[in-house]
């Protein structure tokens, strides 16, 4: 079995469980909770290089880091190496992030139309140029997150090696193409091919739904760490159970209904403190269905939460599910 800790450049990562950057989800509150549940590394939701360049206040607010989050990686995206370099330099100078990650995997149309995210995977040369420029501009480790490719014509190995030769200190790959979006099955065979070619740490991502899946990602794919995304939504116990399973080989029990409800209320409370009541409730609505998944009588409660306008009302609704 691999040692629990590993390094990305000079940054010590205490275990091999990494939480994926998820747009609209991976805010400071979510990340701190993930850390408290045992994540070795959390990655911030992607931040636009143009937003940083124009000092957009909403963008700058996203750069806030809590001391409890370290080690943490801050992800940026863009299609122009000059503006990406400027963003990376600003991030290094004005935040306490330990790592800068370049997004080359986002499949959404808004990002693709800007010639960024997964669009960059069509040209390994462009991958090299972008990564090389950022690596040369900053002193902290630079990593890359990408997908296996744009469509069935994959450049997975070529793109990964381009990032490595450009100076990336680790690479995370989602086992789906851009065209797959989040549908279909992640191709772990391609991930295995990439893992075998790289000498830098390789982080496998896609269809890791259980602690046993995480172990397979490490042992069968050959990944150095496992990145967990959607499986951790409303379920931070996935991180706790995975870290414990990888370390001991023992499976912890699933959380009880009361534990889920208690955690949901705590998450809501922290979001309201951080974002204000209106925005906090709005963001919690995205997570409520995940927290309440599988709980008897939860369907009507989920619908009611989407109509609730005060923290107190949401708490009262959640309390109806407690035993």
Catalytically active residues are 106
Query: Can you say how many angstroms the Cα of residue 77 is from the centroid of all Cα atoms in its chain?
Result: 14
HEC states along the chain?
A: CCCCCEEECCEEECCCEEECCCCCCCCHHHHHHHHHCCCCEEECCCEEHHHHHCCCHHHHHCCCCCHHHCCEEEEEECCCHHHHHHHHHHHHHHCCCCEEEEEECCCCHHHHHCCCHHHHHHCHHHHHHHHHHHHHHCCCCEEEEEEEECCCCCCHHHHHHHHHHCCCCEEEEEEEECCCCCCCCCCHHHHHHHHHHCCCCEEEECCCCCHHHHHHHHHHHCCCEEEECHHHCCCCHHHHHHHHHHHHCCCCCCCCHHHHHHHHHHHHHHHHHHHCHHHHHHHHHHHHHHHCCCCCCHHHHHHHHCCCCCHHHHHHHHHCCCC
């Amino acid at each position: 079995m691999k040692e629990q800790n590993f390094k990305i450049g000079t940054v010590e990562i205490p275990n091999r469980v990494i939480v994926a950057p998820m747009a609209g989800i991976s805010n400071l509150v979510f990340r701190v909770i993930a850390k408290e549940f045992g994540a070795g590394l959390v990655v911030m939701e992607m931040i636009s290089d143009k937003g940083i360049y124009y000092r957009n206040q909403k963008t700058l607010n996203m750069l806030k880091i809590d001391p409890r989050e370290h080690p943490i990686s801050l992800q940026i995206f863009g299609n122009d190496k000059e503006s990406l370099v400027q963003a990376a330099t600003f991030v290094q100078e004005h935040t306490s992030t330990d790592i800068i990650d370049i997004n080359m995997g986002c499949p959404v149309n808004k990002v693709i139309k800007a010639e960024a995210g997964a669009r960059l995977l069509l040209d390994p040369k462009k991958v090299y140029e972008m990564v090389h420029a950022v690596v040369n501009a900053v002193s902290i480790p630079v990593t890359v997150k990408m997908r296996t490719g744009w469509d069935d014509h994959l450049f997975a190995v070529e793109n990964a090696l381009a990032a490595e030769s450009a100076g990336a200190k680790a690479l995370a790959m989602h086992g789906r193409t851009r065209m797959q979006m989040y549908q279909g099955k992640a191709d772990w065979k391609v991930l295995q091919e990439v893992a075998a070619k790289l000498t830098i740490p390789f982080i496998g991502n896609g269809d890791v739904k259980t602690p046993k899946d995480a172990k397979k990602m490490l042992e069968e794919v050959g990944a150095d760490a496992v990145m967990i995304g959607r499986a951790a939504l409303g379920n931070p116990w996935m991180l706790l159970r995975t870290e414990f399973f990888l370390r001991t080989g023992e499976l912890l029990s699933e959380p009880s209904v009361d534990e889920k409800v208690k955690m949901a209320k705590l998450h809501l409370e922290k979001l309201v403190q951080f974002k204000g009541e209106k925005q906090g409730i709005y963001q919690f609505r995205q997570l409520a269905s995940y927290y309440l998944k599988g709980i008897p009588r939860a369907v009507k409660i989920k619908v009611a939460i989407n109509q609730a306008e005060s923290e107190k009302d949401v708490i009262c609704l959640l309390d109806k599910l407690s035993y």
